[in-house]
Chains A and B, each alone.
Chain A
């Protein structure tokens, strides 16, 4: 590992550390029992098997979204419709499960694949619009999220709604489609394996396949990719579709694993979480589970903290924002970065002189 990678890891850790410090500061300011709150935040999840289980469950959708966005961002396209893709994936899974009667094992697999397909459509629309009309992916992808939200709420309230249930929720998804729990005493479901597989597949896709290579080159230098013969338009589209599919699958898995009815009446925010995760994981799917674990741990800790103290979970959202700000700031510790880079460049030059 060369020194510039080491420095990057250091910067990331420092950013996380500073963000946590600031959050602790806020806790101190707003809470009557700050120490207890911080202890709960940091160690709460370790206090019982069930609680640690909560961390793992929370990790699962984060892995999917982290991988999905890593693939989309690898092509250097800022498509933020992953949020909507996830949401639609959950809806599609519910609808499909409720309206088909497939045998065990096949049912959840087919359902999840359909969810992926729908996710693909959500991220695909802005990508296609960029190709056909040169419209800015940023705005169009943001609009997609709201469109999906209202559309799903409509479908929920008018088509899938279970009148027998108290709240606005769908009918229960048949148990044959649901993903079973792995460890008793927790809610960790089979989706965990699927998520880890997705991370592995994502990594292999980006770093070991032709397509992945083409996507990365396109993202790094579009002109260079084109000059090399890569069809940059097609490749960018593929990356958006593939990423969207993973988001959609994530939504389907989350629904089938953690819920038995479609209950989402607002956007869950996994799309924005994905940004943090990919920032921490440096866009590499293989590191996503680590980053996802970290975020999930923090979230669970915050939830435990909020139940036993007066600090609300939203503190973690603030932490997340600060982490992004600091990690992405090029100039954060840039003086040191420059020193190391010029040291390495000089070393390379010196070696060159010897030829």
Chain B
């Protein structure tokens, strides 16, 4: 360790929609170290690495590799310069063998026309052996378990001569076993002189394997530290603090009946891992039940089964004391359930249709808006115009197509639609993600208004500000389970919350999570 193998100076990246992803970040890497890049989702770590790997080009800043200023124009360029990236979603071709995947794009040839399979096997086996990867290069990738697939990805980078390896959330998909194996490999790579950037938010792993850590928050760097000199609590504090604290005027909650009862809910993913693991909770009318957590800890799957999008679960979900399994999505909505989806473009709207068409998908079938066959267009138009005003959607007319609106306005259309049926239960999944401050605070106020008028609200958010300010009760989800629940949200600090979110702390008893047996 010692020489600087990489220096990124004053990098700034602004996305076309105006979001400043990375703001004046300086990052340096020493040869032979395993360097953690920490931060919550949206902190800017992925973007910084995309800049390094040539996927994005920065507005400002310079990159210096081994003392030489470089302009990295594309991933191929980055690979040529010795940078390799192992993506979170594998870039592998399933039906090809390990060897074929490794040599793809630079296949050894026999007689100029054919692939020299033997040599491909030999070369990939050699690479695997150098790094002590125990892998059968003749096997098809689709047959391999996830841990081995990841090894293939790493081998791909090594085969192409990567000195610097970027690993993007590598353990997100691994079993504990596979994680251990990975760490052994990484140490060996270190011995061979490779430098590794380890993108993660798993503090215990970083403590285990990394030498130094750079923490990012809101697009800025919060400093680089020697891992042995910093505690997980300190890392957590640096990661999850709030820079801007906005408060809402909140009346005390007036709780009414329990409308949602979840008992021992488990959802198993396609890989066999439990995404939701034995969750139980109740929600009453008049409260906001917040679920905080880093994305990817089971929130998505939880929302799917609660809203009827998936019926594949074990355990019980009761809506208004009825078993939710027997209800279709339409029926759940008619019972009073509203859903603000995490991905508004895929699930929340039809971008080529106009605002009116988008707002009415959950109520066009009701008698005030349609007869047996025909839609009552006049009534619908009036109502849409009302909603546009009420939700302050910036648009010339309801005839404008939704795809033309800004992110914040699209979300307002989604919220307008979901809230306009006076729902009894609202499930809001990352309701203000990726939208401007004005729209975000408007939506949060609306959520509060609904809570005041007796709605039961589940608020799932990775935004600490939001979840601490709005929730009456707050649970933290970690690896599909609740690691803690707070009934007195006012006394919760973000430092404390961070520990639960990052798995540093876990309560065995969850008081107040359910109201009745």
Complex A–B touching at CB under 8 A = yes
Residues of A near B309 (CB, < 8 A) are: 226-227
Q: In the assembly, what is the distance between CA of A224 and CA of B414, in Å?
A: 11
Interface residue B225 (Cβ < 8 Å from any Cβ of A): no
Residue of A231, A341, A352 near B436 (CB, 8 A) is A352
Rounded to whole angstroms, the CA-CA distance of A352 and B442 in the bound complex is 13
Question: Are A224 and B406 interface neighbours, CB within 8 A?
Answer: no
Cβ contact within 8 Å between A348 and B404: yes
Binds B, one of A57-65, A207-215, A254-262, A315-323: A207-215
In this complex, which of B333, B346, B395, B404 has the most chain A Cβ atoms within 10 angstroms of its Cβ?
Answer: B404
Please name the residue on chain B nearest to A229 by beta carbon. B330
CB of B114 closer than 8 Å to a CB of A: no
Contact of A352 among B331, B352, B409 (CB under 8 A): B409
Pick the contact of A344 from B361, B370, B404 — CB < 8 Å? B404
Q: How far is the CA of A209 from the CA of B376 in the complex (A)?
A: 9
Q: How far does the alpha carbon of A53 sit from the alpha carbon of B309 in the complex, in Å?
A: 55
Whether A224 contacts B373 in the complex (CB less than 8 A), given A230-B330, A230-B361, comes out as no
**How many Å from the CB of B357 to the closest CB on chain A?**
7
Q: B408 near A352 (CB under 8 angstroms)?
A: yes
- Least CB distance, A216 to chain B, in whole angstroms: 7
Q: Is the CB–CB distance between A355 and B438 below 8 Å?
A: yes
B329, A229: Cβ atoms closer than 8 Å: yes
Return B328 CB to nearest CB of chain A, in Å.
Answer: 7
Q: Smallest Cβ distance from A228 to chain B, in angstroms?
A: 4
Contact indicator A224/B330 (Cβ below 8 Å): no
User: Which residue on B lies nearest to A214, using beta carbons?
Assistant: B364
A217 at interface by CB-CB < 8 Å: yes
Which partner residue on chain A sits nearest B362 by CB separation?
A228
Whether the pair B365, A231 counts as a contact (CB closer than 8 A) is no
> Do B347 and A348 touch (CB < 8 A)?
no
Nearest chain-A residue to B347 (Cβ)? A227
Known: A210-B375, A220-B352, A224-B346. A231 touches B330 (CB 8 A): yes
Chain A interface main SS type: helix
Asked if A31 is at the interface (CB within 8 A of a chain B CB), the reply is no
B-facing mask of A209-252, CB < 8 A → 1, else 0?
11101001100110111111111000000000000000000000
B339 is an interface residue with CB less than 8 A from chain A: yes
Q: Is the CB of A227 within 8 A of B351?
A: no
Would you call A164 an interface residue if the criterion is a C-beta within 8 Å of the partner chain's C-beta atoms?
no
Query: Nearest chain-A residue to B17 (Cβ)?
Result: A349
Rounded to whole angstroms, the CA-CA distance of A59 and B348 in the bound complex is: 41
Q: Which residues of A contact B341 (CB under 8 A)?
A: 227
A344 cross-chain contacts in B, Cβ below 8 A:
404
B394 touches A224 (CB 8 A): no
In chain B, residues 394-413, which have Cβ atoms closer than 8 Å to a Cβ of chain A?
A: 394-395, 404-406, 408-409
Contact A223 B375 (CB under 8 A): no
CA distance A223 to B351 in the complex (A): 12
Say yes or no for B267: interface residue by CB 8 A criterion. no
**A224 and B347 within 8 A (CB):** yes
CA distance A176 to B514 in the complex (A): 76
For the complex, what is the distance from the CA of A49 to the CA of B454, rounded to whole Å?
A: 72
Instruction: List residues of chain B with CB under 8 Å of any chain A CB.
Output: 18, 307, 309, 328-334, 339, 341, 346-353, 357, 360-362, 364-365, 370, 373-375, 377, 392, 394-395, 404-406, 408-409, 436, 438
Q: 25 A-B pairs, CB-CB below 8 angstroms?
A: A208-B375, A208-B377, A209-B374, A210-B365, A217-B350, A217-B353, A224-B348, A224-B349, A224-B350, A224-B361, A225-B350, A226-B309, A228-B329, A228-B361, A229-B328, A229-B334, A229-B361, A231-B330, A341-B404, A348-B394, A348-B405, A348-B406, A352-B409, A355-B394, A355-B438
